[in-house]
């Protein structure tokens, strides 16, 4: 099945790309920061003085133990909340099947919903490439079927 989501980041504006990049950078830095205790442990194992300085001289080992107890407490609380939520849903929905099959839509209903000609919609569903223009309310204005390599629909530079 073809993925129906259109993913074209090159069509995003500069501001959207900058914001997305900045957010990604912030989360990568946070991820690296969370790995610092393990990185310093590995550095100590490799013989670097960084671990000795921070863990032994500056008594960072006690801080690490305190931090691990906080981490374990948070993991326990989140795990307990997840188990409680799952138990509640099992109790609430036991014996109830709320999933139903979707009724298939025929081409006539699809054409009526979108307000297009049934023959044109049938041809569009069979084509590999098409251009669809929409009204502001989301209804289909025009469908240009583009199955041949030489056929290009006219492009309006004016907004519709």
The mean pLDDT of the chain is: 80
| DSSP H or E stretch at residue 132 | strand 130-134
Residue 124 lies in a domain: yes
Q: pLDDT tens for residues 102-153?
A: 788 888 888 888 888 888 888 888 888 888 888 888 788 888 887 766 555 5
Q: Domain check: are 73 and 134 in the same one?
A: no
Q: Domain check: are 24 and 70 in the same one?
A: yes
Residue 99 lies in a domain: no
Q: How many independent structural domains does the chain possess?
A: 2
Residue 17 neighbours by CB under 8 Å, 6+ apart: 9
Q: Domain check: are 114 and 47 in the same one?
A: no
Residue 28 lies in a domain: yes
User: Helix or strand or coil: residue 111?
Assistant: helix
- Quote the domain boundaries for residue 120: 107-145
């Amino acid at each position: 099945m073809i993925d129906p989501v259109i993913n074209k980041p090159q069509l995003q504006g500069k501001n959207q790309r900058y914001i997305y990049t900045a957010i990604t950078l912030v989360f990568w830095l946070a991820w690296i920061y969370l790995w610092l205790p393990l990185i310093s442990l590995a550095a100590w194992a490799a013989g670097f003085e960084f671990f000795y300085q921070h863990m032994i001289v500056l008594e960072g080992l006690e801080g690490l133990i305190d931090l691990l107890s906080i981490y374990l407490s948070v993991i326990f609380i989140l795990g307990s909340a997840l188990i409680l939520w799952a138990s509640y849903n099992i109790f609430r929905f036991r014996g109830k099947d709320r999933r139903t099959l979707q009724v298939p839509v025929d081409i006539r209903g699809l054409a009526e919903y979108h307000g297009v000609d049934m023959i044109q919609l049938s041809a569009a569903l069979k084509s590999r490439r098409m251009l669809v223009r929409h009204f502001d309310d989301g209804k289909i204005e025009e469908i240009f079927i583009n199955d041949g390599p030489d056929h290009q629909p006219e492009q309006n530079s004016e907004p519709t």
